Amino acid sequence: MEQRVNQYACTQNRELSWLRFNRRVLEEAGDGTVPLLERLKFISIFTSNLDEFFMVRVGNLFDLSLVSPDEIDNKTGLTPAGQLEEIYSVIPGLIEIKNRLYTEVDALLRQQGICDLTMEELSPEERKFVSTYYKAKILPVLSPQIVDTHHPFPHLANKALYVAALLRGKKGTASLGFLPVPEKLPAFLSMPGAPSRYLRMETILHHWAPTLFGGFKLENSCILCVTRNADLDLDMELLEGGGEDIRSRMSKLLKKRASQSVVRLELSKKIGGEFLKLLKSRIRVESHQTYFDQSPLDMKYVYSLIRSLPEWESLAFPSYRPRWPEDLDDSTSIIEQVRRRDRLLFFPFDGVEPFLRMLDEAAERPDVISIKITIYRLASSSKVAHILCKAAENGKDVTVLMELRARFDEANNISWSRLLEDAGCRVIYGVEEYKCHSKICLITLRKGDKLSYITQIGTGNYNENTNAMYTDLSLMTANEQIGLDGTVFFQNMLVGNLEGAYQHLLVAPSGIKPKLLALIDGEIAKGPEGYIRIKANSMTEREVMEKLVEASQAGVQIQLILRGICCLRPGIAAQTENIHVTSIVGRYLEHGRIYCFGRGKDAVLYIASADLMTRNLNHRVEIACPIYDREVRSQLLWILHTQLEDNVKASSLLPDGSYCRKVNSLAPCNSQEAFMEASIHKPEPRPERPDPLRRLLGGLLGKRESR
């Protein structure tokens, strides 16, 4: 028993850690310094995050509880059923916070004239307008259905909204009725002459529902939404696809997602026993899977609502236009400038335009013979894809390693793969059992008999939409050795070789984790002089965490900047007391990955596509790239330093797994605002300041996360 206690003494469950991250997203909606419409967005982001969590993580645990009920979580010792029990117990508290904050934000928006209306709040003129609109535009497309011996229970689509009704027939028999909210209808209806006053579509349908079920009397009703398991075990099923190609098999498998088990039932209000009992029985959910949420169940409408509002900018973050980096001349060749020295783009503070310009230049230059690129997620209207098509049409050899299994982007990637093929690109799909999550673009040029390379390696996707919302890093280099490694990488991917040898790049699944462990060992050898800084999204890999514990015990100072999941609990005496974990939740989604071992000019620096997660280090194709250029190294060190100085949007992870905001006793530092105001591309980047450990320790005195 003692051994078991020690095994889990400084680790925590990944799902519960993620829920704490999403709580911090929600808490941004309660920050009075955040503009009102942005606070509404944070509630929407929390809601969509939680939806995906149930579809993927809860769905996965649901499957495991059936097929591997005794499988043990190596961070807590919990079985799948035990993890589900913990998750389901936490959710009601989060929903309570969401309802409170939505009510608060809604009241403040009403003071600004922005009203999520009820039918009772309509003026006579507005009521007449809504009635006319309902009869002309809504009623003809409605499909109400009762459930009885002649009408089977309908399939409830994942995350679709329904009006659910308890109906009573003439003989007193109770029946259920369902009214789907049609997807083709707008999510909300603005009042004429007053676009800030609006009715959500489910509000309108709920009002007219009593008139839609014929001779049945409607006794009770609510808005309903189910969440289905969307965690298809694609890898295993793809292996069993016979002679079909992966794209055809993927298209078929995606259809299965719509019919998987329900893992959550959401209701817009508390309902009576008979009604609730019927719903739970027919939908096949338990009480712990059923939640009552008085705020909107689907909040994807928020973004289109904001765009429809007049003068909405005054209630949003000040507009920010990504800059053109000062160290790049926008009037000359980007390729030639990169040949002179490495360049780093820092999204969204820098625009993506320099990379797009370089790629477009490669598509046109006669000395460019090939472009090779890995793609995980593309924008729905992708400039990158169009440039690749143009390059192929111009006779360049274009190879695209397209990952079709990027969750929830599968259909988009299938469509783009066809278009790229039609344009003449060679499209490959990676290795069957390993998703390709790498971000690398290799441009090969030829002058006479000599080949040269421009290599771009990033931490984020080739997606112009997310480049404007996520903080990511993009290195463009003419380093010949990195270019040669890039060539070997694509050759290996073409033949499915995951064990290839590289001189400079680290390539998972075989190359990143061993190097990380060796670099940590290098800092352990320095004892208290050792220093590790890692910025990533999440950390779950047990072997890496155990090595960090060993480093902490050797006196190595370890600063982790982890936005989301952190299964390692810092500050545990004699184990993790030298580990400090910072999480930043702000205007932009923190997404970049930087590995730093050592200090100053002797530091070993990498940027990477990989988080410190089991899936990334062991089960995906990922790339980490060393940083050799002095200017780029200084830029990365300043980024790390500034984020560790953040005392406005940063929280510290405490030994019990909860978070507290860092103390703002010194000059306030919002790292993202600092990056907007001060470029990393100054001729003389700021020197690295003294170790900010003192300030981080001060954060532990801040207000602890309420339970």
pLDDT at 255 over 70: no
Of 508, 463, 507, the C-alpha closest to 482 is 507
C-beta of residue 356 within 8 angstroms of C-beta of residue 327: no
Write down the residue that tokens 């920050």 correspond to: 31
- Counting every residue, how long is the chain? 707
Residue 554 burial by CB count (10 A; 0-12/13-18/19+): exposed, middle or buried?
A: middle
* Mean pLDDT confidence for 59-82: 91
pLDDT tens digits, 46-55: 999 999 999 9
Q: What is the dihedral of CA 506, 509, 511, 512, to 10 degrees?
A: 60
**Confidence band, pLDDT 50/70/90 cuts, at residue 659:** very high
Which residue, 507, 614, 464, 454, is CA-closest to 11? 614
Give percent above pLDDT 70 in the chain. 91
Would you tell me how many other CB atoms lie within 10 Å of the CB of residue 113? 11
User: What does the pLDDT read at residue 698?
Assistant: 38
What 8-state DSSP symbol labels residue 604?
A: E
Q: How far is CA 163 from the centre of its chain?
A: 30
Q: How confident is the model at residue 235 (pLDDT cuts 50, 70, 90)?
A: very low
Band of residue 228 on the pLDDT scale cut at 50, 70, 90: very high
pLDDT, tens digit (0-9, with 9 covering 90-100), for 516-567:
999 999 999 999 999 999 999 999 999 999 999 999 999 999 999 999 999 9
| pLDDT greater than 60 at residue 274 | yes
Whole-number pLDDT of residue 680: 85
Of residues 470 and 170, the one with the higher pLDDT is 470
Under the banding of pLDDT at 50, 70 and 90, the label for residue 246 is low
Residue owning tokens 């190097």: 515
Chain segment 109-129, per-residue pLDDT in tens: 999 999 999 999 999 999 999
Task: Please give the structure tokens belonging to residue 111.
Answer: 């003071």
Compute the average pLDDT of residues 366-394. 94
Distance between CA atoms of 566 and 618, rounded to whole angstroms?
Answer: 17
Q: CA-to-CA distance for 80 and 89, rounded, in angstroms?
A: 14
Q: Looking at the predicted structure, is the pLDDT value of residue 17 above 60? A: yes
Residue 3: is its pLDDT beyond 50? no
Confidence of residue 406 (pLDDT cuts 50, 70, 90): low
Catalytic residue of the set 206, 207, 288, 437: 437
Name the packing angle between helices 410-422 and 246-254 (round to 10°): 150
Structure tokens at 288: 């712990």
Determine the Cα–Cα distance for residues 483 and 446; give it in Å rounded to an integer: 13
Among residues 66, 45, 16, the alpha carbon closest in space to that of 263 is found at 66
Q: Does 591 qualify as catalytic in the annotation?
A: no
Mean pLDDT computed over 8-20: 95
Which tokens belong to 607? Answer: 């940027």
pLDDT, residue 110, reads 97
pLDDT of residue 230: 84
Q: What is the sign of the dihedral through the CA atoms of 643, 647, 648 and 650?
A: positive
Neighbours of 70 (CB within 10 A): 8
Angle between helices 542-553 and 512-524 (to 10 degrees): 10
- Rounded Cα distance, 363 and 340, in Å: 20
**Which one-letter amino acid corresponds to residue 461?**
N
List of residues 6+ apart from 222 with CB closer than 8 A: 163, 164, 206, 267, 268, 269, 271
**624, 610 Cβ separation under 8 angstroms:** yes
pLDDT for residue 4: 43
The Cα 488–Cα 482 span in angstroms is: 10
pLDDT over 90 at 432, yes or no: no
* Beta carbons of 599 and 449 less than 8 angstroms apart: no
Across all residues in the chain, what is the average pLDDT?
Answer: 90
Alpha helices, DSSP H, located in 365-507:
383-393, 410-422, 464-467, 480-495
Structure tokens at 663: 């103390």
Kindly state the tokens that stand for 489.
């990488």
Confidence of residue 345 (pLDDT cuts 50, 70, 90): very high
Decide: 325 and 679 in contact? Cβ < 8 Å.
yes
If you search the block for the tokens 């040949």, which residue do you land on? 339
In this predicted structure, what is the pLDDT of residue 701?
Answer: 34
Q: Across residues 12-25, what is the average pLDDT? A: 96
Q: How confident is the model at residue 72 (pLDDT cuts 50, 70, 90)?
A: very high
Confidence of residue 7 (pLDDT cuts 50, 70, 90): confident
Tens digits of residue pLDDT in 502-517: 999 999 999 999 999 9
As a whole number of angstroms, the distance between CA 603 and CA 571 comes to: 25
pLDDT at position 237, please?
42
> Mean pLDDT lowest for which of 254-263, 345-354, 392-401?
254-263
Checking if the pLDDT of 409 tops 70, the result is no
| Dist CA 63 CA 81 (whole Å) | 10
> Would you state the structure tokens that stand for residue 161, as one six-digit string?
């909204």
3-state DSSP assignment of residue 621: strand
644-675 burial: b if 16+ Cβ within 10 Å, else e: bbbbbbbbbbbeebbbbbbbeeeeebbbbbbb
Residues 525 and 530: their CA atoms lie apart, in Å, by 8
Per-position b or e across 153-177, b if 16+ CB within 10 A of its CB = eeebebbebbbbbbbeeeeeeebbb
Return left, alpha or beta for 424; rule: phi > 0 is left, psi -120 to 50 is alpha, else beta.
Answer: left
How large a percentage of the chain has pLDDT more than 90? 80
User: C-alpha distances in angstroms, 151 versus 144, 146, 147, 215, 282?
Assistant: 11, 6, 5, 15, 13
Q: What is the pLDDT of residue 416?
A: 83
State whether residue 387 is helix, strand or coil: helix
> What integer is the mean pLDDT of 440-451?
97
Tell me which residue has tokens 């909405």: 312
Residue 491 predicted with pLDDT over 50: yes
Q: Are 359 and 383 in contact (CB under 8 A)?
A: no
Considering only 2-11, 30-39, 85-94, which range has the smallest mean pLDDT?
Answer: 2-11
